[in-house]
Amino acid sequence: MTTEQQDPIKAVPVRRPGRWIGGVVIALIAIGVIYSIVTNRNFEWPTVWRYLFDFRILTGLRNTLVLTVLSMVIGVVGGIILAIMRLSRSPLVSGAAAVYIWFFRGTPLITQLIFWNFFSLLYPRIGWGTFSVDTNTLIAPFVAALLGLGLNEAAYMAEIVRGGISSVDEGQREAASALGMRQGKTLRRIVLPQAMRVILPPTGNETIAMLKTTSLVVVIGYFELMTAAQQIYADNLKQIPLLIAAAIWYLLLTSILSIFQSRIEKRYSRGVSGIATQPGFAERMFSFRKAAR
Amino acid sequence: MSEQPTQEPMVRAEGVCKHYGRLEVLKGIDLEVAPREVMCVIGPSGSGKSTFLRCINHLEKVNAGKLWVDGELVGYRQHGDKLHELREHEVAEKRREIGMVFQRFNLFPHMTALGNVIEAPVQVKGIPKAEAKQQGEDLLTRVGLADKADAYPNQLSGGQQQRVAIARALAMKPKLMLFDEPTSALDPELVGEVLAVMRGLAEDGMTMVLVTHEMGFAREVGDSLVFMDGGVVVEKGKPRDVISNPQHERTQSFLAKVL
């Protein structure tokens, strides 16, 4: 064997006419859509811009964000607790978590939201004797929305966390206990950090989904982004522009969340080999090969 | 090794039995490991040798018989003639004094080599981080990996990972080290570097019990050799004697296959 450096292979790449044809078709459709969006006056773009920063829309936006964050906090914390319960050796503890998950995943979210809103019909007062409060003052639409979204999310997060914990090799737990580490610490220091890699991507998806799902609380009248848009167009009948304004905000926020998600995922993939390098646009489209480094 | 018959054995097993459901894995093991002794356990797969090793640090619960490490009963406390199961934290406390090295290394992949080594001293013993780091670097130097302190396990070869795993076990300053087929998952050319580290440990006087297929190591470094088959100790003696002059027919046929 010689140690001489070999020249890199220079070969004509395979032509891909299918990609070219597909590309042309897509370009034509895109031009048509953009042309229509720009020229169709019914979109009323000036109205969209005017309402995009309307005080009511911005208030709704803020409430949407608050609701998303708090619901996810309840969902994640509840999910971790439920997952640990689910993996417990005690059949009662594990069974209780299973029943919770069964119930909250088995009924529609919108049913649960309305249920919490009407909770006072079931229990007019909450508490014991003198230490009780009127249910309607305790469960305002905001609390009902939070309960509905958070408790439902916990059931889904529980399955995600459980999958993550189960994905960690049993040898990791053994190594930790052989070092004299106790169960709680093993979970916190060894198992959960590794489970994160499996847990985080779907949690990011859940957060993005939650941002949009908060719009469901329109049915119980809590004032978030979608409720705001609806109330405004109920007055001025400019449905399409207001729906577009709301959609723009949802798109912007979900895009920001997606960027966060990929950053966090990178951080937790430490110690896991092979971040595969994706071929770039030019290479995939035209089979242009980048010079090997 | 000098024999001191009055000394308390580091490990003492009396009639140790272990079964999973109906499957009997250990059918009454009687063994003693003296302090500073290096005991090698060989035998065909399924003979119960790894299970016995895992019983010593209570990763497996013994079903019958008794097991002592350094004079203390493993997994139980004796009050009069009654046995009480130890609580989780008591078991954990005892495991700190017993190092274990696994066939598949089981390093923590989300921590660097040094992170792996200092994890237990810091988190379990509560040693200040700076001090643990100093000791951890010394240990990595001892296993020949001073320059790999910041590498993650997936950036290391199998042999290097296993040496980090040995350093991690040593960081708890154990009085007994258990090795469960430490070289079986390694490429042949990497076995030597791990055995060299283990030989160094033996020379420093560490008490070691190792399940292995490395007959050369057993012969040169081991003080005693145990052949297990079907959940019982078939033969025990000086490695040279057992290897060159096996008494039992089953030992003879096993050695004929591996030598």
Contact B100 A270 (CB under 8 A): no
Beta strand B38-42 with B64-69 is unpaired
Condensed to tens digits (0 to 9), the pLDDT of residues B4-61 reads 555 789 999 999 999 998 999 999 999 999 999 999 999 998 899 999 999 999 999 9
Give me B34's structure tokens: 């003296």
Q: What's the pLDDT score for residue A241? A: 92
- Angstroms from A204 CA to nearest CA on chain B: 21
Q: What's the pLDDT score for residue A293? A: 42
Mutation pick from A179, A198, A265 vs chain B, by most beta carbons of B within 10 Å, is A179
The amino acid sitting at A76 is V
Place of tokens 């090295």: B101
Condensed to tens digits (0 to 9), the pLDDT of residues A182-210 reads 999 999 999 999 998 889 889 999 999 99
Q: What's the pLDDT score for residue B83? A: 87
- Name the residue among A171, A193, A273 with its Cβ closest to that of B106: A171
Question: Which chain A residue's Cα is nearest to B118?
Answer: A179
Helix-, strand-, coil-residue percentages of chain A, each rounded to 5:
75, 5, 20
Q: Which residues of A202-236 are buried (b: 16+ CB within 10 A; e: fewer)?
A: bbbebbbebbebbbbbbebebbbbbbbbbebbeee
Q: Predicted ipTM?
A: 0.91
| pLDDT class of B126 with cuts at 50, 70, 90 | very high
Tell me the count of A-B CB pairs closer than 8 A.
Answer: 72
Provide Rg for chain B, Cα atoms: 18
Chain B residues in contact with chain A using a Cβ-Cβ cutoff of 8 Å:
57, 59, 88-89, 92-96, 98-100, 102, 104, 106-111, 119-120, 123-124, 152-155, 165, 168-169, 172
- Between A2 and A166, residue with greater pLDDT: A166
Mean pLDDT of A238-260: 93
Confidence check: pLDDT of B148 > 90: yes
Integer Cα distance of B227 and B243 in angstroms: 10
Q: What is the 3-state secondary structure (H, E, C) of chain B?
A: CCCCCCCCCCEEEEEEEEEECCEEEEEEEEEEECCCCEEEEECCCCCCHHHHHHHHCCCCCCCEEEEEECCEECCEEEECCEEEECCHHHHHHHHCCEEEECCCCCCCCCCCHHHHHHHHHHHHHCCCHHHHHHHHHHHHHHCCCHHHCCCCHHHCCHHHHHHHHHHHHHCCCCCEEEEECCCCCCCHHHHHHHHHHHHHHHHCCCEEEEECCCHHHHHHHCCEEEEEECCEEEEEECHHHHHHCCCCHHHHHHHHHHC
The distance of Cα B94 from the centroid of its chain, to the nearest Å, equals 15
**pLDDT mean across residues, chain A:** 88
Backbone angles phi and psi of A131, in degrees to 5 = -90, 45
Give me A86's structure tokens: 């689910």
Question: Which chain B residue's Cα is nearest to A169?
Answer: B106
| pLDDT class of A292 with cuts at 50, 70, 90 | very low
Confidence check: pLDDT of A285 > 90: no
Integer Cα distance of B205 and B70 in angstroms: 15
User: Percentage of residues in chain B with pLDDT exceeding 90?
Assistant: 87
**pLDDT mean across residues, chain B:** 92
- Name the residue among B99, B119, B154 with its Cβ closest to that of A272: B154
Condensed to tens digits (0 to 9), the pLDDT of residues B81-104 reads 888 899 999 999 999 999 999 999
The distance of Cα A68 from the centroid of its chain, to the nearest Å, equals 9
Mean pLDDT of B207-219: 93
In chain A the domains, ranked by start, together with CATH numbers, are 68-223 (1.10.3720.10)
Q: What's the pLDDT score for residue A127? A: 79
Mean pLDDT of B203-227: 93
Question: Which chain B residue's Cα is nearest to A268?
Answer: B110
Q: What's the pLDDT score for residue A267? A: 77
| pLDDT class of A139 with cuts at 50, 70, 90 | confident
Contact residues on chain B for A169, CB-CB shorter than 8 A? 106
Are A171 and B101 in contact, with CB atoms under 8 Å apart? Answer: no
Are B194 and B161 in contact, with CB atoms under 8 Å apart? Answer: no
- Please give the helix or strand (H or E) that residue A126 lies within, else none: strand A125-128
Q: What's the pLDDT score for residue A165? A: 93
Least confident window among A9-23, A130-144, B220-234: A130-144
Helices (H), A192-238: 192-213, 225-236
Are B59 and B190 in contact, with CB atoms under 8 Å apart? Answer: no
Contact A271 B95 (CB under 8 A): no
Name A125's bridge partners: A134
Q: What's the pLDDT score for residue B5? A: 53
Contact A182 B100 (CB under 8 A): no
Are A250 and A212 in contact, with CB atoms under 8 Å apart? Answer: yes
